């Protein structure tokens, strides 16, 4: 389809990152490197091994640099993608196999690495497990980088892009996306891909519109074609007419003025029109996220998932390393609060350093979170000492996950007391009045919330788990995902029970599950009396804007109404009608 043929054509894909862009196509279809299997000259094997090790180091340095840049630009969450790449480069089995193959076949190391990596990719690609299949992509991505280094071509991929273009590709790897300089890429379109692929998450983070799942658009387009990308609706218009451009121009204008309106209120406190205040906090997974979440108007950290410091690390982080991480966040957020949740390992989160051979039949009902910590008291106490020490430098609150009842809470507090005693002995300072709270995410804790409230300084409701345990719906099983209903009356009643128990003891209640960021459901939670919401930072501006422009009394009325209803779908419909009447004109 050359641009000399002018009719407008519309293609439909999956909307993956919002926004509209118009520009010229840059077709990014990298050719496979040709790697001939030339023999190594006699006696040259050791030099080949040396060269290989050197290139492994170089590639590692590049990935580390990329990871650092991505962490600074997009946050630690996105940067974690490259941990898997680093693991591949350190994989002794792959390295030794390559060297052995070179010695046995007599062919050059680049060729042998290519062969061995390809065997690994094929093996992983055929495993019947989505997580392991994803590893095939990691190996493909990083081995491509390594091969380019081995053949001496370092300027590959999108690093060559010099002017502003719409990138059209079969697929894009995280490395490719990380190479993208925001100013140079107007939008991304790919043949393959789903909404949740890493590359798309990164496109969203750098706020570049993206449409994926276009099947074979790379075959239909040529470099320089005129194209319009609609990342809201997942449409791609080739050779857009004046009329189309005008229509999209207006849409963009409207969206921009809405964004401006929303962002203009980001620094204000979250107060409804009739004066109710709500704290809007962010969930984080790493130590370097304070600046980023502040940009989104976070009024504190409502949930620091500390287990991510342990995942992918070759060994458990020491007390000192943990202390530095907690202190950094606390100092950067001060005087705003940072709720540090103690380790929630187990379930679907296992660090490499806790590699287990004994698999559990029901890991979400197994040795997870506080249970695991109460069985590994040294691991737990190390973390508690690190948190206590960091509490001097900021407004830290400590929170235990998966508390099922008062006994467990007492035992956790007993160990906390031991940790305090150990610091006292060494005359190390800590904040003796650091608040200590519990996540309420197991039905037994919710039902006994009145007892727990007397022993806690605050609660945070973890609806991700509370819903799975209350409704018996595995939170990661897509076959029953349609049964995971936050508007089930049992869920609403349970939240109400928790809030009432907490307020009777004058303690505050937060809600930190994913649904705390859903503008359709938020009015119900606030109507039920939840004091704080903690969500993914990028969702905060819209929620803040919405709350500043509606009345608490209306949310309360909605809640009273839905508490009388019995069907989850009907409750959702009522909430949606409220959203349409009071909210959608504000933020949609
Ligand atoms: C929850 O369960 O709602 C929660 C916030 O914790 P996580 O998602 O880490 O289990
Ligand atoms: Mg949880």
The model's pLDDT over 473-513, given as tens digits with 9 standing for 90+, comes to: 988 776 777 888 999 999 999 999 999 999 999 999 999 99
Annotated catalytic residue: which of 198, 373, 456, 488? 198
- What's the per-residue H, E or C state across 513-579? CHHHHCCCCHHHHHHCCCCEEEECHHHHHHHHHHHHCCCHHHHHHHHHHHCCCCCHHHHHHHHHHHH
Determine if ligand 1 sits within 6 Å of the CB of residue 532: no
Tokens 């029901």, residue located: 362
Q: Average pLDDT of 38-43? A: 87
Q: Taking a C-beta distance cutoff of 8 angstroms, is the pair 266, 542 a contact? A: no
* CA 71 to centroid of ligand 2, rounded, Å: 25
User: Which residues have C-beta under 5 Å from ligand 2, the single-atom ion?
Assistant: 441, 462, 465
Q: Average pLDDT of 80-103? A: 90
- Distance of alpha carbon 283 from alpha carbon 267, whole angstroms: 18
Q: Which residue pairs, CB below 8 angstroms and at least 24 apart, start in 29-32? A: 29/169, 29/170, 29/218, 30/156, 30/157
- Listed in order, strand segments (DSSP E) in 315-410 are 337-341, 395-400
Q: Is 198 a catalytic residue?
A: yes
Task: Report the pLDDT value the prediction gives residue 413, as an integer from 0 to 100.
Answer: 98
* CA 578 to centroid of ligand 2, rounded, Å: 29
* CA 462 to centroid of ligand 2, rounded, Å: 5
Instruction: Quick: pLDDT tens for 178-237.
Output: 666 666 889 999 888 765 565 666 677 677 899 988 888 999 999 899 999 999 888 999
Q: Does 74 score more than 80 pLDDT?
A: no
* Ligand (nearest to CA of 308): 1
In terms of pLDDT, which residue wins out, 471 or 18? 471
Q: Choose the residue to mutate in 286, 344, 446 for probing ligand 1, maximizing ligand atoms within 8 Å of C-beta.
A: 344
Q: Which residue pairs, CB below 8 angstroms and at least 24 apart, start in 432-436? A: 434/387, 434/388, 434/391, 434/396, 434/397, 434/398, 435/397, 435/398, 436/397, 436/398, 436/399, 436/400
- Distance of alpha carbon 503 from alpha carbon 526, whole angstroms: 14
Query: If you take atom 6 of ligand 1, which residue's CA is the nearest one?
Result: 462
Return the ligand 1 atom nearest residue 344 CA. 9
- Distance of alpha carbon 561 from alpha carbon 575, whole angstroms: 10
Tell me whether the omega of the peptide bond preceding residue 335 falls within 30 degrees of 0, making it cis: yes
Q: Average pLDDT of 47-53? A: 93
Give 570's Cβ-side CA count (13 Å radius): 8
Q: Choose the residue to mutate in 301, 302, 305, 494 for probing ligand 1, maximizing ligand atoms within 8 Å of C-beta.
A: 305
* CA 224 to centroid of ligand 2, rounded, Å: 49
- CA 184, 188, 190, 193 torsion-angle sign: positive
Q: Average pLDDT of 541-560? A: 95
Beta carbons within 8 Å of 76's beta carbon, 6+ residues apart: 285, 286, 287, 288, 289
* CA 464 to centroid of ligand 2, rounded, Å: 6
- Distance of alpha carbon 144 from alpha carbon 148, whole angstroms: 6
Q: In 140-149, which positions are buried (b, 16+ CB within 10 angstroms) versus exposed (e)?
A: bbbbbbbbbb
Task: Report the pLDDT value the prediction gives residue 202, as an integer from 0 to 100.
Answer: 66
Q: Does 1 score more than 50 pLDDT?
A: no
- Distance of alpha carbon 349 from alpha carbon 367, whole angstroms: 11
User: pLDDT above 70 covers what percent of the chain?
Assistant: 91
The radius of gyration of the chain's CA atoms, rounded to the nearest angstrom, is 26
* Ligand (nearest to CA of 534): 1
Task: Report the pLDDT value the prediction gives residue 355, as an integer from 0 to 100.
Answer: 47
Task: Report the pLDDT value the prediction gives residue 196, as an integer from 0 to 100.
Answer: 55
Task: Report the pLDDT value the prediction gives residue 156, as an integer from 0 to 100.
Answer: 59
- Distance of alpha carbon 419 from alpha carbon 425, whole angstroms: 10
Strands 235-238 and 226-230: antiparallel
Return the ligand 1 atom nearest residue 461 CA. 3
Helices (H), 75-173: 76-79, 81-89, 92-105, 109-125, 130-150
* Ligand (nearest to CA of 349): 1
Query: If you take atom 8 of ligand 1, which residue's CA is the nearest one?
Result: 464
User: pLDDT above 90 covers what percent of the chain?
Assistant: 58
Q: Does 3 score more than 50 pLDDT?
A: no
Q: Does 399 score more than 60 pLDDT?
A: yes
Q: Choose the residue to mutate in 339, 347, 441, 442 for probing ligand 1, maximizing ligand atoms within 8 Å of C-beta.
A: 441
Q: Average pLDDT of 308-314? A: 77
Cβ atoms within 10 Å, residue 430: 19
Largest CA distance in the chain: 85
Based on the number of CB atoms within 10 Å of its own CB, is 318 exposed (0-12), middle (13-18) or buried (19 or more)? Answer: exposed
Task: Report the pLDDT value the prediction gives residue 312, as an integer from 0 to 100.
Answer: 61
Provide the angle, in degrees to the nearest 10, between the axes of the packed helices 109-125 and 130-150: 170
Query: If you take atom 4 of ligand 1, which residue's CA is the nearest one?
Result: 462
Task: Report the pLDDT value the prediction gives residue 198, as an integer from 0 to 100.
Answer: 59
Q: What residue ranges define each of the domains in the chain, with the CATH number in brackets? A: 9-30+157-239 (3.50.30.10), 45-151 (1.10.274.10), 265-587 (3.20.20.60)
Return the ligand 1 atom nearest residue 283 CA. 5
Q: Is 9 helix (H, G, I), strand (E, B) or coil?
A: strand
Task: Report the pLDDT value the prediction gives residue 79, as an integer from 0 to 100.
Answer: 81
pTM recorded for the entire structure: 0.68
- Distance of alpha carbon 522 from alpha carbon 516, whole angstroms: 6
- Distance of alpha carbon 526 from alpha carbon 555, whole angstroms: 7
Determine if ligand 1 sits within 6 Å of the CB of residue 512: yes
Determine if ligand 1 sits within 6 Å of the CB of residue 344: yes
Q: Is 475 helix (H, G, I), strand (E, B) or coil?
A: coil
Cβ atoms within 10 Å, residue 105: 14
* CA 470 to centroid of ligand 2, rounded, Å: 13
Mean pLDDT of all residues belonging to the chain: 89
Instruction: Quick: pLDDT tens for 510-537.
Output: 999 989 989 999 999 999 999 999 998 8
- Distance of alpha carbon 510 from alpha carbon 110, whole angstroms: 55
Q: Does 325 score more than 90 pLDDT?
A: yes
Q: Could you tell me the pLDDT band of residue 352, with boundaries at 50, 70 and 90?
A: low
Q: Does 33 score more than 80 pLDDT?
A: no
Query: If you take atom 3 of ligand 1, which residue's CA is the nearest one?
Result: 462
- Distance of alpha carbon 419 from alpha carbon 300, whole angstroms: 26
Task: Report the pLDDT value the prediction gives residue 2, as an integer from 0 to 100.
Answer: 44
Instruction: Quick: pLDDT tens for 220-230.
Output: 999 899 999 99
Determine if ligand 1 sits within 6 Å of the CB of residue 110: no
Determine if ligand 1 sits within 6 Å of the CB of residue 307: no
Q: Could you tell me the pLDDT band of residue 588, with boundaries at 50, 70 and 90?
A: low
Q: Does 584 score more than 90 pLDDT?
A: no
Instruction: Quick: pLDDT tens for 353-378.
Output: 554 546 788 889 999 999 999 999 99
Q: Is 373 a catalytic residue?
A: no
Return the ligand 1 atom nearest residue 441 CA. 2
Q: For the ranges 99-108, 174-183, 404-413, 493-502, which has the lowest average pLDDT?
A: 174-183
Q: Taking a C-beta distance cutoff of 8 angstroms, is the pair 188, 205 a contact? A: no
């Amino acid at each position: 389809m050359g641009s000399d043929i002018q009719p407008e054509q519309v293609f439909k894909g999956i909307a993956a990152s919002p926004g509209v862009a118009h520009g010229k196509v840059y077709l990014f279809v990298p050719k496979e490197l040709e790697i001939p299997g030339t023999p190594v000259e006699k006696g040259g094997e050791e030099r080949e091994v040396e060269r290989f090790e050197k290139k492994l180091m170089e590639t590692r340095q590049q990935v580390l640099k990329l990871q650092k840049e991505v962490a600074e630009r997009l946050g630690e969450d996105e940067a974690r993608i490259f941990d898997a790449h680093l693991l591949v480069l350190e994989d002794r089995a792959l390295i030794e196999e390559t060297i052995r193959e070179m010695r046995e076949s007599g062919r050059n190391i680049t060729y042998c690495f290519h062969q061995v990596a390809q065997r690994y990719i094929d093996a992983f690609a055929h495993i019947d497990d989505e997580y392991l299949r994803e590893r095939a992509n990691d190996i493909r991505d990083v081995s491509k980088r390594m091969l380019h280094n081995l053949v001496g071509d370092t300027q590959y991929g999108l690093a060559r892009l010099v002017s502003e273009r719409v990138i059209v590709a079969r697929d894009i790897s995280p490395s490719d996306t990380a190479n993208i300089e925001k100013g140079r890429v107007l939008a991304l379109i790919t043949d393959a891909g789903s909404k949740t692929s890493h590359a798309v998450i990164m496109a969203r983070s750098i706020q570049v519109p993206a449409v994926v799942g276009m099947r074979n658009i790379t075959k239909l387009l040529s470099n320089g074609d005129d194209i319009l990308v609609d990342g809201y609706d997942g449409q791609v218009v080739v050779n857009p007419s004046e009329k189309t451009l005008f229509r999209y121009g207006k849409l963009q204008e409207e969206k921009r003025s809405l964004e401006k309106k929303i962002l203009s209120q980001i620094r204000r406190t979250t107060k409804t029109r009739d004066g109710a205040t709500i704290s809007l906090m962010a969930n984080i997974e790493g130590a370097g996220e304070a600046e980023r979440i502040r940009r989104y108007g976070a009024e504190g950290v409502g949930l620091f998932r500390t287990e991510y410091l342990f995942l992918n690390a070759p060994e458990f982080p020491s007390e000192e390393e943990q202390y530095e991480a907690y202190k950094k966040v606390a100092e950067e957020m001060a005087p705003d609060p940072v709720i540090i949740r103690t380790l929630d390992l187990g379930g679907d989160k296992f660090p490499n350093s806790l590699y287990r051979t004994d698999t559990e039949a029901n890991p979400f009902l197994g040795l997870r979170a506080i249970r695991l910590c109460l069985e590994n008291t040294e691991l737990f106490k190390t973390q508690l000492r690190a948190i206590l020490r960091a509490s001097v430098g900021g407004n830290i609150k400590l929170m235990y996950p998966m508390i099922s009842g008062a006994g467990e809470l007492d035992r956790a507090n007993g160990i906390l007391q031991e940790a305090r005693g150990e610091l006292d002995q060494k005359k190390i300072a800590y904040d003796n009045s650091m608040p200590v709270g519990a996540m309420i995410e197991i039905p037994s804790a919710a039902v006994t919330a009145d007892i727990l409230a007397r022993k806690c300084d605050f609660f945070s409701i973890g609806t991700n788990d509370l819903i799975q345990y209350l409704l018996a719906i595995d939170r990661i099983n897509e076959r029953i995902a349609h049964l995971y209903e936050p508007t089930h009356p049992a869920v609403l009643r349970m939240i109400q029970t928790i809030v009432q128990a907490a307020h009777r003891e004058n303690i505050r209640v937060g809600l930190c599950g994913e649904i705390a960021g859903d503008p359709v459901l938020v009015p119900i939670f606030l109507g039920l009396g939840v004091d704080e919401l903690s969500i993914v930072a990028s969702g905060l501006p819209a929620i803040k804007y919405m709350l500043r422009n509606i009345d608490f009394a209306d949310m309360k009325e909605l809640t009273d109404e839905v508490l009388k209803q019995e069907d989850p779908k009907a409750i959702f419909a009522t909430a949606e009608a409220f959203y349409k009447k009071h909210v959608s004109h504000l933020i949609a």
